[in-house]
Homo-oligomer: A and B are copies of this chain.
Amino acid sequence: MSAEPRGVTPEMTPARRIDHVAVATRDAGSAADWYVQHLGLRRVHDERVEEAGTRLVWLEPDGESLPGTARFQIVEPLRPGPVATYIEEHGEGLHHVCFVVDEAGAFLEQRGEEAQQVFRGGFGLPCAFLKRTPPGVNIEIVQKGLDA
């Protein structure tokens, strides 16, 4: 957590909404099966994010989504990196929550973080993981239109 928390000022844009919640797992395919079979979620996308070295399977409720509905993401590490390390240290489980922001680089700079943290993540969208967060909470931001 930042030693000197700063409030959201008129110059700081807030997070707009929760984009997704993610679980980290060693096998995204079989993990996704569970949520499909038990919760009735449906697969909407399955992709490899080269820059992050991950496979992402995206799930969402079937048929009754509303415009701001958050998605559920399954993350599988494809090579050594933060997600693989997380699983080694914590085991599989809830991994991060992601908020939609207007502009990823500006959002980071407004909070004293490096705009260079931005990379192309799921769906090729600009995203980043915040370096300063409360303990035990991984927070991602993603830049997308409110209707995306």
Give residues in A with beta carbon < 8 Å to B: 1-2, 5-8, 12-18, 21, 23, 25, 31, 33-34, 36-41, 61-72, 90-97, 99, 111, 132, 134-139, 146
Known contacts A5-B38, A41-B14; A136 and B92 CB within 8 A of each other: yes
**Interface contact A38-B68, CB-CB below 8 Å:** no
Contact: B14 with A39, CB < 8 Å?
Answer: yes
Closest Cβ of chain B: how far from A107's Cβ, in Å? 9
The reply to whether A38 and B94 contact each other, CB–CB distance below 8 Å, is no
- Which of the residues B1, B7, B40, B138 comes within 8 Å of A12, measured between beta carbons? B40
Known: A92-B136, A135-B92, A136-B93. A37 touches B5 (CB 8 A): yes
Q: Is the CB of A137 within 8 A of B94?
A: yes
In Å, the complex CA distance between A17 and B18 comes to 12
* A8: min CB distance to chain B, Å: 4
The 8 listed contacts between A and B (C-beta, < 8 Å) are A2-B38, A8-B39, A14-B41, A17-B64, A23-B136, A38-B132, A68-B69, A68-B70
